[in-house]
């Protein structure tokens, strides 16, 4: 654990982690990938509804705090398995990025940006920047396990030639072009291709090329089990990050005076319910207007920071909470949490079903000081990463890969 680097403070580091975790997720969960060296499959994803139903039931499961929680508190589900698979992925995974030149009329949406991305959808840009610098890239497509579709949904939205209403046609034209210029798309109907998008519009932009939606791997922030555009276990969840400037915030667990904190706009029934129950509470502070103090001050002064579903299940608040050493309380039913296959979220967050909003204070007050300290030290663990930690971070696909190569 030498060279510790704070991945959220240093967004490139974060991009690396997001990128690695996501690649890990893709390589672990995609059946295609498991067989990619042996055969070319044509995917026909008819959803198994009973399987999806089980997933939804899992997201309803409440976190139970009891003695076991303290004893079994690793932030990983299975650290050793992960380390082994990570190493294997790090050694062998190869990705081909469709090449575009600076003079391409759409280079602004196809190439990685040469500045530090900011704002609400920065994860998308960081992912591409980091991927392109990584050793996973191959220039030889015949060597590739995966193919990256490099268009940026966030940048297409703001391109006056395209705009929100033109994205579906752009994607159609893009896929038409690559499937005519290269053989790779047709070989799998896109099942070994992926794209990355953080803005929610990305999820609905694939309707004119249904193969992108049903076959390609969609790496999106808006990863809700409840929307048909997102297909769990084929698609992957990308954490939403709003890069925050500034030095090392104060992580002290003891100095936090507020039990719970939320700030945001009143744009969903879930938030209305939060307001209705906790709008005047003296322990849980819920703000829908201007804050008296800065957002940062509130986050470092609170033990628990609420992430409450708005228009979408995802916001940057979970990562904000982790960054400021506050334990995220996730109130967003059906949210496929980022890296949930690797990280055991219940060891560094509290997941509360929308139905249980009336019990919120009871749930938070029911967490003992000892349990709180364990959660908070785990928050700091997932917040930090280091070169030494990467091997622990990536790997289960390869157990399967090796099983199938027999």
Which residues of the chain form contacts with ligand NAG (CB under 6 A)? 4, 6, 44, 46, 48, 50-51, 54, 87, 90, 106, 135, 170, 173-174, 177, 179-180, 183, 186, 248, 275-276, 279-280, 380-381, 384, 390-391
> Nearest distance from residue 92's CB to ligand NAG, in Å?
10
Return d(Cα 166, Cα 172) in angstroms, integer: 10
Q: Which is nearer to ligand NAG, 354 or 384 (CB)?
A: 384
Q: Which residue has the tokens 């749930």?
A: 363
Q: Which long-range contacts (CB under 8 A, 24 or more apart) does 172-177 make?
A: 172/208, 172/209, 174/149, 175/149, 175/209, 175/211, 175/212
Q: Which is nearer to ligand NAG, 35 or 87 (CB)?
A: 87
Return d(Cα 293, Cα 303) in angstroms, integer: 16
Q: Which residue is nearest to ligand NAG (CB)?
A: 279
Q: Are 261 and 304 in contact (CB under 8 A)?
A: yes
Residue 220 φ/ψ region, left for φ over 0, alpha for ψ in the -120 to 50 degree band, beta for the rest = beta
Q: Which is nearer to ligand NAG, 138 or 173 (CB)?
A: 173
> Nearest distance from residue 171's CB to ligand NAG, in Å?
8
Q: Which is nearer to ligand NAG, 187 or 227 (CB)?
A: 187
Q: Which is nearer to ligand NAG, 107 or 369 (CB)?
A: 107
Q: Which is nearer to ligand NAG, 183 or 366 (CB)?
A: 183
Return d(Cα 258, Cα 326) in angstroms, integer: 11
> Nearest distance from residue 83's CB to ligand NAG, in Å?
9
> Nearest distance from residue 181's CB to ligand NAG, in Å?
7
> Nearest distance from residue 89's CB to ligand NAG, in Å?
9
Q: Are 363 and 306 in contact (CB under 8 A)?
A: no
Structure tokens at 169: 């046609």
> Nearest distance from residue 295's CB to ligand NAG, in Å?
21
DSSP H or E run through 27: helix 11-29
Q: Which is nearer to ligand NAG, 238 or 389 (CB)?
A: 389
Q: Which residues pair with 385 in a beta bridge?
A: 5
Residue 66, classified by CB atoms within 10 Å of its CB into exposed (0-12), middle (13-18) or buried (19+), is: exposed
Q: How far is CA 343 from CA 247, 311, 363, 405, in A?
A: 26, 25, 22, 27
> Nearest distance from residue 111's CB to ligand NAG, in Å?
13
Q: Which is nearer to ligand NAG, 104 or 116 (CB)?
A: 104
> Nearest distance from residue 298's CB to ligand NAG, in Å?
19
Q: What ranges in 223-268 are assigned the alpha helix state H?
A: none
């Amino acid at each position: 654990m030498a060279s510790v680097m704070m991945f959220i403070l240093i967004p490139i580091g974060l991009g690396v982690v997001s990128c690695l975790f996501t690649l890990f997720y893709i390589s672990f969960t995609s059946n295609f990938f498991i067989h990619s060296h042996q055969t070319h499959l044509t995917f026909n994803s008819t959803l198994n509804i009973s399987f999806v139903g089980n997933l939804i039931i899992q997201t309803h499961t409440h976190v139970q705090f009891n003695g076991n929680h303290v004893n079994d508190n690793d932030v990983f589900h299975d650290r050793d398995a992960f380390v082994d698979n990570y190493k294997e992925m790090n050694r062998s995974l190869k990705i081909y990025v469709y090449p575009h030149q600076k003079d391409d009329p759409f280079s602004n949406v196809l190439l990685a940006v040469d500045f530090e991305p900011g704002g609400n959808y920065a994860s998308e840009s960081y992912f591409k920047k980091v991927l392109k610098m990584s050793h996973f890239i191959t220039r030889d497509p015949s060597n590739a396990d995966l193919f990256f579709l490099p268009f940026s949904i966030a940048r297409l939205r703001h391109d006056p030639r395209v705009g929100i209403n033109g994205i579906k046609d752009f994607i159609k034209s893009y896929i038409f072009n690559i499937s005519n210029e290269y053989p790779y798309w047709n070989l799998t109907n896109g099942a070994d291709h992926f794209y990355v998008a953080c803005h929610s519009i990305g999820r609905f932009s694939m309707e004119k090329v249904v193969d992108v939606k049903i076959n390609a791997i969609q790496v999106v922030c808006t990863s809700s089990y409840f929307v048909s555009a997102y297909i769990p276990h084929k698609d992957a969840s990308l954490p939403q990050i709003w890069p925050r400037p500034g030095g090392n915030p104060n992580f002290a667990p003891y100095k936090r005076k507020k039990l719970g904190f939320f700030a945001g706009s009143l744009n969903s029934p879930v938030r209305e319910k939060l307001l209705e129950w906790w709008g005047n509470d003296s322990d849980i502070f819920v703000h829908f207007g201007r804050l008296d103090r800065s957002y940062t001050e509130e986050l470092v002064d609170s033990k628990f920071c609420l992430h409450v579903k708005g228009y979408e299940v995802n916001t940057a608040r979970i990562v904000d909470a982790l960054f400021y050493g506050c334990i995220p309380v996730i109130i967003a039913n059906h949210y496929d949490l980022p890296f949930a296959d690797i990280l055991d979220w219940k060891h560094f967050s509290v997941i509360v079903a929308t139905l249980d909003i009336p019990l919120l204070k009871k749930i938070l007050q029911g967490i003992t000081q000892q349990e709180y300290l364990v959660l908070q030290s785990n928050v700091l663990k997932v917040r930090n990463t280091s070169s030494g930690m990467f091997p622990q971070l990536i790997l289960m696909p390869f157990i399967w890969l090796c099983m199938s190569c027999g």
